[in-house]
A and B are shown apart, each in its own frame.
Chain A
Amino acid sequence: MQMTRDLRIVSVQEWREAAEGTVSVRGLSAWYGRHRALTDVSLEVRPRSVTALIGPSGCGKSTLLRCLNRMHEVVLGATVSGQVLLEDEDVYGSGVDPVSVRRRVGMVFQQPNPFPTMSIYDNVAAGLRLAGTRNRGVLDGKVEQALRQAALWDEVKDKLRKPGTALSGGQQQRLCIARALAVDPEVLLMDEPASALDPVATARIEELMVELKRDYTVVVVTHNMQQAARVSDYTAFLLSEDGGGGALVEYGETRQVFEEPRDERTRDYVTGRL
Chain B
Amino acid sequence: MARELRTGMLPPRVRRASINWGDRAFHGITTGFALLIAALVALLVLELATESVPALSRFGPGFLASTSWNPVTGEFGALPFIYGTLATSALALALAWPIGVGAAAFLTELAPRFVRSILGTMVEMLAAVPSVVYGLWGVFVLVPLLRERVEPWLIERLGVLPVFSGPPFGLGVFAAGLLLAVMILPTLASVSREAMSAVPRGQREALLALGATRWEVIRAVVLAQARSGLVAATVLALGRALGETMATVMVIGNSPSINVSIFAPASTMASVIANDFNEATGLQKAVLLELGLILLVVSLAVNTAARLMAARSTR
| Chain A interfacial positions (CB closer than 8 Å to B) | 27, 29, 31, 33-34, 36, 39-40, 73, 77, 79-82, 95-99, 247
Contact = CB atoms under 8 A, between A and B. Distances in A.
8 contacts: A31-B11, A34-B10, A40-B3, A79-B13, A81-B7, A81-B11, A96-B19, A97-B20
B7 A29 contact: yes
B120 to A, nearest CB: 29
Given A97-B19, A99-B20, A77 B7 contact: no
Interface in B2-45: 3, 6-15, 18-20
In the A-B complex, the 9 residue pairs with the smallest Cβ-Cβ separation, listed nearest first, are A31-B11, A40-B3, A79-B11, A29-B7, A81-B12, A40-B7, A79-B12, A97-B20, A97-B19
Interface of B: 3, 6-15, 18-20
A98 B12 CA distance: 18
A20 B313 CA distance: 56
B3 to A, nearest CB: 4
Nearest to A40: B3
Given A34-B11, A79-B12, A40 B6 contact: yes
B19 A77 contact: no
Nearest to B22: A99
Contacts of B14: 77, 79
A98 B3 CA distance: 27
B58 to A, nearest CB: 53
Given A77-B14, A79-B11, A27 B20 contact: no
A80 B12 contact: yes
A96 B20 CA distance: 9
B97 to A, nearest CB: 41
A27 B19 contact: no
A33 B19 contact: no
A27 B12 contact: no
A98 B6 CA distance: 25
Contacts of A96: 19
Contacts of A40: 3, 6-7
Contacts of B7: 27, 29, 39-40, 81-82
Contacts of A95: 19
Nearest to A244: B9
Contacts of A98: 18, 20
Given A27-B3, A34-B11, A79-B13, 10 more contacts: A33-B11, A34-B10, A36-B11, A39-B7, A40-B7, A79-B14, A81-B8, A81-B12, A98-B20, A247-B3
Contacts of B18: 98
Contacts of A27: 3, 6-7
Contacts of B8: 81
A34 B14 CA distance: 11
B90 to A, nearest CB: 45
Nearest to B13: A79
A31 B15 CA distance: 13
A31 B8 CA distance: 11
Nearest to A34: B11
A73 B14 CA distance: 9
Contacts of B15: 73
Nearest to B6: A27
A80 B15 CA distance: 10
Nearest to A35: B11
Contacts of A81: 7-8, 11-12
A79 B11 CA distance: 6
Contacts of B6: 27, 40
A163 B10 CA distance: 46
A71 B3 CA distance: 24
A95 B14 CA distance: 16
A77 B12 CA distance: 11
Nearest to B3: A40
A149 B28 CA distance: 40
A22 B11 CA distance: 27
Contacts of B11: 31, 33-34, 36, 79, 81
Contacts of A77: 14
Contacts of A97: 19-20
A95 B8 CA distance: 23
Contacts of A31: 11
Contacts of A34: 10-11
A95 B12 CA distance: 17
